[in-house]
Amino acid sequence: MRFVLELLAQAFDRVAHGDAALVATAWRTLWVAFASTALALGLGLPLGLLLADARSRGRRAALVAANAGLGLPPVVLGIYLALLLLPGSPLGVLAWTNTLDAVVLAQTLLALPLVTALTAAAVHALPAGLLDQARAYGARRGQLALLALREARVGVLAAVIAALGSAVAEVGAVVIVGGNIRDQTNTLASTVLLDLSAGDPAGATADALVLLAIVLALGLVLTVAQQRGVRARRRVPSGAAR
């Protein structure tokens, strides 16, 4: 027990004094998380809207693939993506092997099924006839998409929470495609492995503490926004009734 307390004390001391390497790694982690989540949203939201009305076989198959992607092992994706990025491979021309760009790409591909599947589910759960009524009033495709996302914002925010959480905490794909190079491609989660292998448990503990703080802070902010969306939706019927 004494060893654990001493370890925590050393870790808190590093955090409190703003260890330069720790701060740089935290910023790198946040950059990767926000960049990959933004890309996943840019691709996943339109796909989710498209697949919400899965009437054709093609759309149903794509929705099944998106739902299956929720359980995609990150290590598997990392291995095949790393092979595709090797010189002479289809994506070898990018020269992204062991780079932060490869890490962002891997995180985007991991978050994409989350955003797509959760958005499709949220839009599919909207009241029957809502979008049809908007079409009847002459709403265009872009206006219908914005209406659907606005009304399904609680579920969309759940997709954002899931995508950000996945990006912040991911280790397997980061290590495989990025090489987990200290001060270059390592994130907080992957740095825990580096510090443990270097015999620095205090550093690994500090990494874990900062990572936990980031996850809790992001979760708090997004959950507050989500709950406000829930309250806003509940107020609409009562206001309309009056």
Residue of 176, 185, 210 whose CA lies nearest to 32: 185
From 190, 219, 188, 220, select the one nearest 206 (Cα to Cα). Answer: 188
Q: What is the mean pLDDT of residues 4-25?
A: 88
Residue range 215-242, pLDDT digits in tens: 999 888 888 877 776 776 666 544 443 3
What's the burial of 72, exposed, middle or buried (CB within 10 Å: 0-12/13-18/19+)?
Answer: middle
Kindly report, residue by residue over 165-218, the tens digit of the pLDDT.
Answer: 888 988 989 899 999 999 999 999 999 999 999 999 999 999 999 999 999 998
Q: What is the CATH number of the domain that holds 171?
A: 1.10.3720.10
Nearest-angstrom CA–CA distance, 130 and 147: 9
Position 240 in a domain: no
Do the domain assignments include residue 41? yes
- The answer to whether the predicted template modeling score (pTM) of the entire model surpasses 0.75 is yes
Does residue 239 fall inside a structural domain?
no
Contact 34, 168 (CB under 8 A): no
The whole-angstrom separation of Cα 6 and Cα 127 is 56
What distance in Å separates the CA atoms of residue 63 and residue 116, rounded to the nearest whole number? Answer: 8
Q: Specify if 69 maps to a domain.
A: yes
With beta carbons less than 8 A apart as the criterion, state whether 205 and 11 touch. Answer: yes
**Amino acid at position 107, single letter:** Q
What is the span of the domain harbouring residue 154? 2-232
Do the domain assignments include residue 56?
Answer: yes
Q: Is the pLDDT of residue 61 over 50?
A: yes
pLDDT for position 234: 66
Residues 6+ apart with CB under 8 A from 147: 130, 131, 134, 139
The total number of structural domains in the chain stands at 1
Measured at the CA of 60, the angle between CA 58 and CA 65, to 5 degrees, comes to 95
241 located within any domain: no
- pLDDT, tens digit, 9 for 90 and up, residues 108-147: 999 999 999 999 999 888 887 787 788 777 778 888 888 8
**Is residue 197 domain-resident?**
yes
SS (H, E, C) 140-175: CHHHHHHHHHHHCHHHHHHHHHHHHHHHHHCCHHHH
Amino acid (1-letter code) at residue 118: L
Does residue 238 lie in a domain region? no
Q: Is-contact 118 91, C-beta < 8 A?
A: no
Measured at the CA of 170, the angle between CA 204 and CA 219, to 5 degrees, comes to 90
Please check whether residue 111 is in contact with residue 163, taking contact to mean a CB–CB distance below 8 angstroms: yes
